[in-house]
Structure 1
Amino acid sequence: MFSGPPGVGKTATAVSIARELFKDDWRENFTELNASDERGIDVVRTKIKNFAKTSPIGGANFKIIFLDEADALTSDAQSALRRTMEKYTSNCRFILSCNYSSKIIEPIQSRCAVYRFRHLADDSVGERCRHVAEKEGLTIADDGMDALKYVAQGDMRKAINALQAAALFDTTIHKDAIYRITATAHPEEIAELLKIALSGNFISARKKLDSLMLEKGLSGEDVVVQIYRAIFDMDVSGKKLVALMDMIGEVDFRLTEGANERIQLDALLAHFALAEEQ
């Protein structure tokens, strides 16, 4: 079982294992299913069983079923999967990929060796992006690389997608293209927004927020996430930081529950402005 955030190489690792084990016959002895597309028990009863019950090809000792986003399967489907794993263990191996191993039922977890993947380091993201850019004849400016690392947050898939989209506009990748394509505000602009709010100037902070949301196309959740990332770089005392983090978490929860994002963001900025007086 591969457990970890998206874009860190879980699927690539599974494919690499299959290619190493089966060589030229890997496509015939390896199948990939995405549980988020078909969450019900039917995918276990039909697709998985049909592949599992056939013999390996090319002299291989077993075949591999890779079930991506296995944590999206319903409990009934996971129970059926457990029985299938036991029944076809002689000629089939299973690799499960999930974001949260806690969503996998215990009987399956106990039958798996769990490998936990973590977010990739910024240096690893940068190195791979440089490699892709070199192969594609692109040039990544230093500020463009910093922007790629910022928007990726350790997610290689997100970094490469942003690089690919930016390459449609210019062969030299700068930060403005990356932030515009990914609908992300410049970190400096978020820092400026926080400075204005923390100085107690609520009206100016609200105007700054307006310009960010309209010009950058940011959603309320995007703004909250970027504020969360930026607040730790601000000169804020311990107790005040705790209070601000509590409010950020509360607003994030309310937005998840469907609250009006404009009202919630204004309330968050007001809380920041009042923090100066406390």
Structure 2
Amino acid sequence: MSFFKQQGAKAPQKQAVDPQHQPWVEKYRPKTIDDVSAQEHTVAVLRKTLTSSNLPHMLFYGPPGTGKTSTILALARQLFGPDNFRSRVLELNASDERGISIVREKIKNFARQTPRAQAVASDGNAYPCPPYKIIILDEADSMTQDAQAALRRIMETYARITRFCLVCNYVTRIIEPLASRCSKFRFKPLDSSSTSSRLAYIATSENVSVTDDVISTLISTSHGDLRRSITYLQSASRLSASTDPPTQITPSDIQEIAGVVPDTVINDLAATLGVEPISGDATSRRANGFDEVRKKVKGIIREGYSASQILSQLHDLVIEHPTLTARQKSRCALVFAEADKALCDGADEELQILEVGLRVHKALSP
């Protein structure tokens, strides 16, 4: 009776998503593994699985925004097609519980089900549709030790009909018995050329005018995280389009959206502390004493900039400076490290930046 009910039931209607309101991260998510940017080795290996019915358990690890989840989702769609995807793939993301109860109930129940026969693809394409299911555990490094231990036995018991793909940022948080059962794929931070070409493609598709300086700022503020840079680009696009008439996106807009301290502010502070300006952005001279350093630090903090962000950018400026000596850089690095620890422990932001300023000023004194 239930069989006939299932056959006669109407398929649930999919809600159409207005492309205007869709995040660009989802809109331009890779549809096939060939669309994945900059992960040539991983793509080359996974491409061979499309021609064979054998797929090992996999462990994808690497920094955020490098394409780990997008890659396995694209592979699953190419393996099963749109009609079998829902019945063959179980994806648990960061919003799901990761305790042992989820492993014993939801994951185990899905893993033990024998895959149904391949349905004819409604789009007319032929898909390999191998005789197994795929369980994707996103951010698996947040699973408890007990949950990971319980998962180990499930992976062995149902390996014939179920494959697992663990996705994480820190591979060292995956217990060794679990990691040893998987083929490991390391995702590297995206290089500038790959990120630049992808951002240029999205900007062209969305009719957004961006300059090379804007793309360069997007890359520098996202630190190899393509997802973050796409989000910044969409936010900047909405911001520029909200004015009448629409304005051109500038690098300062990107820095404002990203919460980054403008280069002119950091260069100005560094010049006050005695760091020779690399470019012509800095207008300050080296401070002569405590009062001048305190006045400069107080002005920056009153602008509402994050102390951690100031510390990070000041660190990069000093360490990469071409004229400072190795001894001066090492002294400054020690100052930055102590201040970062203090900020993590809840120290007052203005006092810590003031101390950093004074100690860097002293370390760079002739």
Fold shared by both chains (TM-score > 0.5): yes
Partner Cα distance (2:318, 2:117) in 1: 57
Flag structure 1 segments of 5+ consecutive residues without an equivalent: none
* 1:138-217 equivalence runs, <5 A: 138-171=208-241, 172-198=248-274, 199-201=286-288, 202-215=290-303, 217=304
Partner Cα distance (1:220, 1:161) in 2: 23
Task: Label 1:166 to 1:72 Cα distance change in 2 as closer, same or farther (>3 A).
Answer: same
Task: Count matched residues.
Answer: 277
Task: Label 1:11 to 1:258 Cα distance change in 2 as closer, same or farther (>3 A).
Answer: same
* 1:7 maps to which of 65, 68, 71: 65
Contact conserved, 2:88 with 2:133, CA < 8 A, in 1?
A: yes
Name the counterpart of 2:337.
249
Q: Secondary structure at the match of 1:17?
A: helix
- Greater percentage in helix: 1
Name the counterpart of 2:305.
218
* 1:1-278 equivalence runs, <5 A: 1-24=59-82, 25-35=84-94, 37-59=96-118, 60-171=130-241, 172-198=248-274, 199-201=286-288, 202-215=290-303, 217-234=304-321, 235-277=323-365
Contact conserved, 2:319 with 2:333, CA < 8 A, in 1?
A: no
Contact conserved, 1:185 with 1:212, CA < 8 A, in 2?
A: no
Partner Cα distance (2:79, 2:91) in 1: 16
> What's the CA shift for 1:58?
4.4
> What's the CA shift for 1:151?
0.9
> What's the CA shift for 1:208?
3.6
Higher mean C-alpha deviation, range 150-159 or range 48-57:
48-57
Task: Label 1:211 to 1:135 Cα distance change in 2 as closer, same or farther (>3 A).
Answer: farther
> AA paired with 2:218?
L
> AA paired with 1:180?
E
Higher mean C-alpha deviation, range 251-260 or range 114-123:
251-260
> What's the CA shift for 1:213?
3.7
> What's the CA shift for 1:133?
0.8
> What's the CA shift for 1:229?
2.0
Contact conserved, 1:221 with 1:252, CA < 8 A, in 2?
A: yes
Partner Cα distance (1:127, 1:206) in 2: 43
Flag structure 2 segments of 5+ consecutive residues without an equivalent: 1-58, 119-129, 242-247, 275-285
Contact conserved, 1:36 with 1:73, CA < 8 A, in 2?
A: no
**RMSD, aligned α-carbons:** 1.9
> What's the CA shift for 1:128?
0.9
> What's the CA shift for 1:170?
1.4
The structure whose Rg is larger is: 2
> AA paired with 2:271?
K
Partner Cα distance (1:255, 1:100) in 2: 24
TM norm structure 1: 0.92
> What's the CA shift for 1:64?
0.8
